[in-house]
Amino acid sequence: MPKQLQPGILYVSEKFGTAAHLCACGCGEKIRTPLGPTEWSVRDTAAGPSVWPSVGNWQKPCQSHYVIQNGKVVRHAQWSAAQIAAGRHGEQQRRKAHYNAMYAKTSPWQRFWRRLKSLFGVE
């Protein structure tokens, strides 16, 4: 991953399981999108990369929101406070579903640990 990113380029590091690009609004913020089953996925198409789900930079000053699709940036409306809350909630739900699916395959020890955590209300 280079220190200086060029605008309009999606950098993907399979080794580190992450991708990065400069914010598509032009503000120059470096946006990291971790890759994985509960994070973002990058698909290579003939026209360019696609990143899914949308990139919502609500933690950045510009709060831009867009989808990278076939190498093109499709802008979405800016996040409202309610959408930000819903987006965060959706992320949590996705993670929960993923870890619940993994839970079925965990060892008894891990299961014990989970139960312990839930006893204390840590989720």
Residues that bind Zn ion (CB under 5 A): 23, 25, 27, 62, 64
Query: Smaller CB distance to Zn ion: residue 32 or 95?
Result: 32
Provide, rounded to whole angstroms, the least separation between the CB of residue 104 and Zn ion: 40
Provide, rounded to whole angstroms, the least separation between the CB of residue 17 and Zn ion: 24
What lies within 8 Å, CB to CB, of 115 at 6+ separation is none
Please give the single-letter amino acid code of residue 16.
F
Query: Smaller CB distance to Zn ion: residue 12 or 22?
Result: 22
> Residue 69 and residue 53: Cα distance in Å, rounded?
10
Short-list 27, 94, 98, CA closest to 66? 27
Provide, rounded to whole angstroms, the least separation between the CB of residue 31 and Zn ion: 8
